[in-house]
Amino acid sequence: MFTEAESPVTSPTFDLLDSCGTFRVLVGVTGSVAALKVPLLVSQLLELPGNKTRVTTRETTQHYVKRLPLCCLWRQRSDPVLHIELRRWADLLVIAPLDANTLGKIASGICDNLLTCVVRAWDTSRPLLFCPAMNTAMWHHPITSRQVDILKEFGYVEIPCIAKKLVCGDQGKGAMAEVSTIVDVVKQYVQKAAESPQEGAGQVL
């Protein structure tokens, strides 16, 4: 699932490369209940001057967020491949929320949906931010810290989860970082790119 945040995307000939001159932020959304915060996150990202934001989701995200319009660019051999076009388009990828399942997939190199395919093809000279979100018991499982460390070894930047009362009723660490925190981090990249456009997004911060 893929949508442009500013307006619904319905055309199979939609040009992903039409926003030259702006800092392009791709938001990857996974199947965590924290996806409920995505509309607020996207609206605040769109308020940052000098950026353009688009969103890619997984099917499981639709449990928490109203169904988003599908943008299917690939119909025949000569058509562009969506995950490659998104990878080329974006200056920064922020995965918010990053659920336990997708964390494990990325750490293991699995690419079985649009988002994980974008990540697998990602240009590691460009920033990738990830915002873990999961149940406290899942967060404290030994495999989680190992997988987070793997993503950091790839050069990806963690925006750490926080402790609070979760939707399931548990109290503890595992909740996605506050929207304001995520926006502030993205803002640093946008501003740095604006100050040094010749360096490119992959060189900021």
Q: What is the pLDDT of residue 197?
A: 60
Question: What are the extents of the domains in the chain?
Answer: 2-197
pLDDT, position 79: 53
What is the distance between the alpha carbons of residues 126 and 113, in angstroms, rounded to a whole number?
21
Pick among 3.40.50.1950, 3.30.70.1430, 3.90.1170.50, 3.40.50.970: CATH of 2-197: 3.40.50.1950
Active site annotation includes 168: yes
Lowest mean pLDDT segment, chosen from 6-10, 120-124, 191-195, 196-200: 6-10
DSSP designation for 35:
G
Q: Which two tokens stand for residue 61?
A: 């995200």
Tell me the pLDDT tens digit for each residue of 60-105.
445 445 544 444 444 445 556 788 999 999 999 999 999 999 999 9
- ∠ CA 69-4-86, rounded to 5°: 105
pTM of the model: 0.81
Among residues 20, 72, 131, 168, which one is catalytic?
168
- In angstroms, the CA 13 to CA 113 distance is 21
* Structural contact between residues 24 and 190, judged by C-beta atoms closer than 8 angstroms: no
Are 37 and 93 in contact by the 8 Å Cβ rule? The answer is: no
Over the stretch 142-190, which tens digit does the pLDDT of each residue have?
999 999 999 999 999 999 999 998 877 788 999 999 999 999 999 999 9
